[in-house]
Amino acid sequence: MSRFIRTKDNRTKELLMKFARYNSFSGDTKQIIAAALRGLMNFKDDETERIFIDFVVCSDDYLADIAKDYWADAD
């Protein structure tokens, strides 16, 4: 995942979206989802913003806190 982000590969957003949409919030999957969210912060569009909104209102505080950072640089 980090290789795609560093090289700005065209498939980066698509791949990160797949990881972020994973339905399980436990164990290693939570860390993968968190990494995908951090990578998606580089993409500012409606589709990406919807993903972050979903995580802000999700039941997992750790992922919600990461998702809130999406708007941190907008101020």
Q: How far is Cα 8 from Cα 28, in angstroms, rounded to an integer?
A: 25
What ranges do the domains of the chain cover? 2-74
User: pLDDT tens for residues 32-74?
Assistant: 999 999 999 988 889 999 999 999 998 889 999 999 999 986 6
- Give the per-residue pLDDT at 10: 72
Global pTM value = 0.83
Q: Return the HEC string of 40-66.
A: HCCCCCHHHHHHHHHHHCCCCHHHHHH
